[in-house]
Amino acid sequence: MTSGTSEIRLYNTLTKSKELFVPIDQNNVRMYVCGPTVYDYAHIGNARPAIVFDVLFRLLRHTYGDDHVTYVRNITDVDDKINARALRDFGDQISSGELTLNQAIREVTKKTEDQYRSDMRALGCLDPTVEPRATAHIEGMVDMIQQLLDKGNAYIATGEEGTEVLFDTTSMPDYGRLSRRNLDEQKAGARVAVEAHKKNPADFVLWKESSESQPGWQGSFKVDGQVTTIHGRPGWHIECSVMSEQHLGKTFDIHGGGLDLIFPHHENEIAQSRCAHGTEAMANIWMHNGFLQVEGEKMSKSLGNFYTVHELLAEEKFGGRAWPGEVLRLAMLMTHYREPIDFSLARLEEAESMLIRWKKRILDLGLEFSDAKRAEMEALGPCSKLAAELENDLNMSGVVAELHRHAGGDTLHNGERLFGSLRFLGILNFSSMAAFAVAQEEAEAPFDESRLAERLTALANRDFATADRIRDELAAEGIQLMDYKDPDSGERKTKWEVKR
């Protein structure tokens, strides 16, 4: 459906208000979300932005058309943690010359990237339109840093860790607007000793020198006709400025990520992009999802409450069992995306029992998940009230209320809306429902079939009172019997069907 008249309202961190979403180009609605740093399994906190912005991606596709939304989620594959992991896991191969450092890094990032993708798919997330990698955009980063030097927004200085190109925060009059920090406040918290080479404590690294045990690229920068070449690597922020420009343009519609990225990451992305391009905005709407805790505490390895998505999906670590992706996804979506979440066993159990109730209801209301019905079932979408709740800054409590309303209804239409909505939200799909229907049939034989044999024996003995009693009891349970003669043996047999 491409109506083009969206009523989507989104909370914008930049203006601290809910705004009517008006895309720059409704034929190509553009969203960027900061993705993972690929050195280890994604933890459950990393899954929150992936799920939240996947729901928004689905809503935008529903509103503007599947082919009219571009969703970019980057992969950070340059990071000191990746480097450390490569040295830890491939140190021997590197010293023996079997692998170069860059090859070892590629091993680490490739494996982690693949795992991340399969975890996010298991959580019901669609693949983003583009998943650019930082290492594939180094040239663009060097170019943008040169533009910042040319415009007087950056400078080269040598500190304790070598020569760096730094962003001059005082060169941007409204630096700090997103996080509402002013430069004086930032000075107070700065670590002065290591950073004496900076003009201002808040200045941040665009490019930094690498040692021999660190990955590096040749970066040549020209200032006042003089070229400085630094064998180095980019700072973290510059990659998002460059990748978003390359795939979405200088100004795009929505930029998302976790609350913890507002400062410094997003603040610095804005500074780089706006100063390099001379634009008023990098993205029009900035959205941030809230924090995630586990069992009431900040997740940390030392507290023993650190869980990866993979552990939750495939191991018996949390509550002594593995959890289906659809349960994890619903558990995540039960809370509004801007609120903090407490990820607890009680929450997962609640989500699971709710989901089982809904799935049973979908079958009870008469939906069928046979192959013949696949196309029909896959055409079912959300009800308009549910879509309207999502349009209101992804109001999940309204969405859940709407799901309960359909589950409480008693028509086929309610069943279709319930399944269509859960399908739209990425929680259920045809295959998961088909598997559930089969499991239900196997788990719940509707009645004790030995009573059929008992009745046939009674009939053979001309004990019609007993035979009639059994037939009536089964009828009261919704089972209707039909007697027939076996065409081969001529024996009396009984068929049954469920009448509800």
In the complex, which residues of this chain contact Zn ion (CB under 5 A)? 34, 240
Q: At closest approach, how far in Å is the CB of 272 from Zn ion?
A: 11
* Helices and strands in the chain, H and E counts: 17, 16
Those residues whose C-beta lies under 8 Å from the C-beta of residue 413, and which sit 6 or more positions away, are none
User: Toward Zn ion, which CB reaches closer, 135 or 432?
Assistant: 135
Please tell me whether residue 255 adopts helix, strand or coil conformation: strand
d(CA 201, CA 195): 7
Nearest to 119 by CA among 199, 203, 54, 23: 54
d(CA 6, CA 341): 29
Give the rounded distance of the alpha carbon of 248 from its chain centre: 20
DSSP assignment of 440-475 equals HHHH--SS-THHHHHHHHHHHTT-HHHHHHHHHHHH
DSSP assigned state of 265: I
Q: At closest approach, how far in Å is the CB of 240 from Zn ion?
A: 3
User: Toward Zn ion, which CB reaches closer, 138 or 427?
Assistant: 138
DSSP assigned state of 196: T
Q: At closest approach, how far in Å is the CB of 351 from Zn ion?
A: 30
Q: At closest approach, how far in Å is the CB of 422 from Zn ion?
A: 31
Residue 265 CB neighbours (<10 A): 18
Q: At closest approach, how far in Å is the CB of 62 from Zn ion?
A: 26
Q: At closest approach, how far in Å is the CB of 45 from Zn ion?
A: 16
User: Toward Zn ion, which CB reaches closer, 58 or 288?
Assistant: 288
User: Toward Zn ion, which CB reaches closer, 76 or 186?
Assistant: 76
Residue 256 CB neighbours (<10 A): 26
User: Toward Zn ion, which CB reaches closer, 239 or 326?
Assistant: 239
User: Toward Zn ion, which CB reaches closer, 240 or 341?
Assistant: 240
Q: At closest approach, how far in Å is the CB of 34 from Zn ion?
A: 3
Please tell me whether residue 304 adopts helix, strand or coil conformation: coil
Please tell me whether residue 500 adopts helix, strand or coil conformation: coil
Q: At closest approach, how far in Å is the CB of 357 from Zn ion?
A: 39
User: Toward Zn ion, which CB reaches closer, 81 or 321?
Assistant: 81
Those residues whose C-beta lies under 8 Å from the C-beta of residue 379, and which sit 6 or more positions away, are none
Buried b (16+ CB within 10 A) or exposed e, 164-181: bbbbbbebbeebbbbbeb
User: Toward Zn ion, which CB reaches closer, 108 or 240?
Assistant: 240
User: Toward Zn ion, which CB reaches closer, 132 or 420?
Assistant: 132
287 phi/psi in degrees, rounded to 5: -120, 140
Q: At closest approach, how far in Å is the CB of 268 from Zn ion?
A: 9
